[in-house]
Amino acid sequence: MRLWPGKAMITPSELAEVARCSPGTLYEMLRAGELEGTKIGHRWKIPRPVALKFVGWSDDPDAPQPRICPPGPPKREPLPDPKDERIVRDFLGY
């Protein structure tokens, strides 16, 4: 399978679909210089070879599956229910 045939530049949204991450993550990586890209006006463009390398694919039909973007911050534990009497007692020191 060829990714983005005939395209020289890829948008972060197009890359995000294949890399299984949010476009916001890619925009942050572009701004930080972690991902090579060019800003044309107000839009970022990523060279196709860079995008293919990022997802770990090539034009070879036997290429490996795309990589997944780095995980975001760890999920936090949900806050306790403030209506729970035990929490109110603990907070007030009863």
| Residue written as token pair 């005939």 | 6
Q: Determine how many CB atoms are found less than 10 A away from the CB of residue 86.
A: 10
- pLDDT at res. 77: 74
- pLDDT at res. 36: 93
What would the 3-class secondary structure string for 10-73 be? ECHHHHHHHHCCCHHHHHHHHHHCCCCCEEECCEEEEEHHHHHHHHCCCCCCCCCCCCCCCCCC
Cα–Cα distance, 38 to 51 (Å, whole number): 12
User: How is residue 63 written in tokens?
Assistant: 């290429």
Q: Residue 9: is its pLDDT beyond 70?
A: yes
19-70 pLDDT per residue, tens: 888 899 999 999 999 999 999 999 999 998 898 888 877 666 665 655 555 5
Cα–Cα distance, 7 to 47 (Å, whole number): 9
